[in-house]
Amino acid sequence: MKIAIAGAGAMGSRFGLMLHQGRNEVLLIDGWADHVQQIKEHGLKANFNGEEVVEQLPIVLQSEVEKEDQVDLIILFTKAMQLEKMLQDIQSLIKKDTEVLCLLNGIGHEDIIEKFVPMENIYIGNTMWTAGLEGPGQVKLFGNGSIELQNLGAGKEVAAKKLADKLSESGLNAHFSDNIHYSIYRKACVNGTMNGLCTILDVNMAELGRTSTAHKMVETIVNEFAKVAAVENIELDIPEVIAHCESCFDPETIGLHYPSMYQDLIKNHRLTEIDYINGAISRKGKKYDIATPYCDFLTELVHAKEDSLNVK
Ligand code: NAD
Ligand code: AOT
């Protein structure tokens, strides 16, 4: 299968590498010139479960995508605030039958994707894989993960299941979900609890879990997400979702991961996705007349931290 990864940072590189090793023809597309240059000259370097690997993966700047380029599938892996610009830049790659899969964190990306891709070709989901970008052309990958995805287009369930099987052939452990909006809210609860709190407290998830107030903060934030989701007819199983979030504290599995928001703001002084996670809940809360004080405050804290670090 010919697969383009649109946004080849930490996660895009992981997926590109695993799909390449699974014998797919992969094209990386990215907008960060230094990163693209490094991979063009030296290949993609990865510390992959403790082993140093280098793979020669084709990569182009998004401005270099050509009309003649043709792929079966585009996997979107930009940061949320880069998504619309990426879709604009790669419009010529999106043909009548090109399937597009979005696995970004956050809520509501389909509203943007629908402007560029016919509904019947859109698949949305979320992933429990992680990745870290160490520098241009260099990623660190450890642990296991999974993917849940579903078709947005009516009658495309079989295609969605086939897509999940195809990704699983490369070890990505993908599953079809018949209720992807529930799954997306459930994963957004993980990010709504782990990402902002680890960023503000300057800790990884295991260290967050060892604080005396972690449980109360997780419980309160999940309850705010659940109240908002309920207005959209998504009834989160609150105790299960809290347990799912708190499973991230385990240092033997994923607890040593610093969430991508931490990597963005604290490590690399880049803007965060807070407006698409806790900020999205705050906005929806205002619209639905639901109080979301922890999400409001966490969003303000993260923006204040962006300001104090002079991040633009
Ligand atoms: P990323 O920031 O590593 O990559 C996104 C884009 O930003 C890429 O185009 C990348 O080249 C560019 N970029 C990265 N560092 C840069 C720098 N210093 N200067 C200029 N450009 C830079 O993003 P990611 O972590 O791969 O996340 C992609 C999506 O996946 C997000 O929605 C994220 O929330 C989600 N996600 C991330 C993880 C994770 O562990 N990283 C896990 C699950 C989901
Ligand atoms: C994560 N991390 O989603 C992934 O870093 O943004 C992120 C992210 C899977 C399980 C727990 C956290």
Percent of the chain with pLDDT over 90: 97
Please state, in angstroms and as integers, the Cα–Cα distance from residue 176 to each residue in 99, 148, 223, 233, following that order. 15, 6, 26, 21
111-127 residue pLDDT tens: 999 999 999 999 999 99
Average pLDDT over residues 89-93: 97
Average pLDDT over residues 148-177: 98
Predicted local distance difference test score (pLDDT) of residue 179 = 97
Distance from residue 68's CA to the centre of ligand 2 (Å):
35
Q: Which ligand is nearest to the CA of 253?
A: 2
Closest ligand 1 atom, residue 7 Cα? 9
Residue 179: how many other CB atoms lie within 10 Å: 12
Is the pLDDT score of 67 beyond 90? no
| Residues taking part in catalysis | 187
Is the pLDDT score of 284 beyond 90? yes
Q: 90 CB less than 6 Å from ligand 2?
A: no
- In degrees rounded to 5, what are phi and psi of residue 261? -65, -40
Residues with CB under 6 A from ligand 1: 7, 9-12, 30-32, 35, 77-80, 82, 104-105, 127, 130-131, 133, 260, 268, 273
State the virtual CA torsion across 64, 69, 71, 77 in degrees, nearest 10. Answer: 10
Predicted local distance difference test score (pLDDT) of residue 32 = 97
135-162 residue pLDDT tens: 999 999 988 999 999 999 999 999 999 9
Predicted local distance difference test score (pLDDT) of residue 13 = 98
13-49 residue pLDDT tens: 999 999 999 999 999 999 999 999 999 999 999 999 9
CB 273 within 8 A of CB 80: yes
Exposure string (b/e) for 52-62, b if CB count within 10 Å is 16 or more?
eeebebebbbb
How deeply is 116 buried, as exposed, middle or buried, from its count of CB atoms within 10 A (0-12, 13-18, 19+)? middle
Return the closest-CA partner of residue 30 out of 68, 72, 78: 78
Residue 240: how many other CB atoms lie within 10 Å: 11
Mean pLDDT for the chain overall? 97
Give the residue, by CA position, lying nearest to ligand 2 atom 4.
128
Give the residue, by CA position, lying nearest to ligand 1 atom 7.
9
Per DSSP (E only), the strands in 113-218 are: 122-127, 132-135, 138-141, 147-151, 174-176
- The Cα 291–Cα 305 span in angstroms is 23
Give the residue, by CA position, lying nearest to ligand 2 atom 8.
259
- The Cα 120–Cα 221 span in angstroms is 34
DSSP helix/strand/coil, 283: helix
Average pLDDT over residues 304-308: 98
Predicted local distance difference test score (pLDDT) of residue 73 = 98
Candidate of 78, 147, 190 to mutate for ligand 2, largest count of ligand atoms within 8 Å of Cβ: 190
